[in-house]
Structure 1
């Protein structure tokens, strides 16, 4: 797959593990080097700010989508192409529309919300864009354990595990997104 743009879901904090910020910076540099536009939540703080700053520092293009109420709280990154929207729902839809793939760096419940929604849309056949969890230092391991528990408990079919890929580094995550096999959106997944 030829990626023109990638949406990165990630935290509005940097967390306690310095490897997370390092991975965000590395991912930003890789996106710029590969000529891939960053689409993200529009913040200047946390891992969001780190990845955006790294793209900009390497001469890449960055599009931030931010709800008006967050812009008013002065967390908007004024150095990026910023789109101000009316709600979190509109933000997620706009990021989806602009992205060819989704990479998930460490983050909190907002990152989980974005990730679960994009996986649900894929499960329902609304899209066939790759979703890659960037599992820096095992950050997403417990999420994958939970998703496997959902399958074992028969609340989803085994196909759930095919909706996402796990990669340990930014390089591996981008490579996984670029080589992701196509499914058939709109045909349903048989997960119900």
Structure 2
């Protein structure tokens, strides 16, 4: 793999594995896809749960992994010292800012309140124009079905608009959603059809 990754994908996900093996398998597949396509994973720097799984799978597939973690969580989340680069910061605000700066696109896997908060923040930043990077939600085994119902209700109640929903891509198929995010970021290789 070249020293410069083809793309850099920020992944938000649980520091626990959850109770459905499909969640761990999805984390494995996401990491493998990143590595096999010469990409870089940017994530929260932990070695437990889905976080550790996606990081290890990326490394195993030859990808680069950048972990960003606050000092206060180094022991609590068991900082992953196997990362290609582990950045220890002072605050959560610094962590999230650096994760955003190091990434071309964002993807949320199943997770808890930390995953929700990070996903909603980066989505909000996009609607406010702080960045124009793709935002994706991987809905494995219907994990985010309830959230999507809630968000559509917010649109119906006119606290949100359809245009805001259009700022994120939602899917359950890794091999469709990840290429779509990379393509939207403008980093996908050009189709060879134009050479025919």
TM-score (norm 2): 0.88
Tell me the distance in 2 between the aligned counterparts of 1:94 and 1:16.
31
Residues 3, 125 of structure 1: CA spacing in aligned structure 2 closer, same or farther, 3 A cutoff?
Answer: farther
SS in 2 for 1:84: strand
Q: Determine whether 1:70 maps to 2:76.
A: no
> For the Cα contact (< 8 Å) 2:6–2:37, is it kept in 1?
no
> For the Cα contact (< 8 Å) 2:48–2:77, is it kept in 1?
no
SS in 2 for 1:103: strand
Aligned to 1:102: 106
> For the Cα contact (< 8 Å) 2:105–2:181, is it kept in 1?
yes
Tell me the distance in 1 between the aligned counterparts of 2:167 and 2:64.
28
SS in 2 for 1:133: strand
> For the Cα contact (< 8 Å) 1:23–1:169, is it kept in 2?
no
Tell me the distance in 2 between the aligned counterparts of 1:181 and 1:7.
12
Aligned to 2:145: 141
Pick one of 160, 164, 168 that aligns with 2:168: 164
Superposed counterparts of 1:78-93, under 5 Å: 78-80=81-83, 81-93=85-97
- Structure 1 residue 169: deviation in Å? 2.2
SS in 2 for 1:26: helix
> For the Cα contact (< 8 Å) 1:40–1:48, is it kept in 2?
yes
Pick one of 9, 13, 25 that aligns with 1:10: 13
Structure 1 portions without partners, runs of 5+: 183-192
Aligned to 1:37: 40
Instruction: State the 4+ residue runs in structure 1 displaced beyond 2 angstroms.
Output: 178-182
SS in 2 for 1:63: strand
Residues 74, 6 of structure 1: CA spacing in aligned structure 2 closer, same or farther, 3 A cutoff?
Answer: closer
> For the Cα contact (< 8 Å) 1:151–1:157, is it kept in 2?
yes
Residues 74, 128 of structure 1: CA spacing in aligned structure 2 closer, same or farther, 3 A cutoff?
Answer: closer
- Structure 1 residue 44: deviation in Å? 0.2
Q: Which has the higher contact order (CA 8 A, sep 6+)?
A: 1
Aligned to 1:50: 53
- Cα deviation 1:130-162 (Å, max 9, x = unaligned): 111011111111111111111111111221110
Residues 135, 123 of structure 1: CA spacing in aligned structure 2 closer, same or farther, 3 A cutoff?
Answer: same
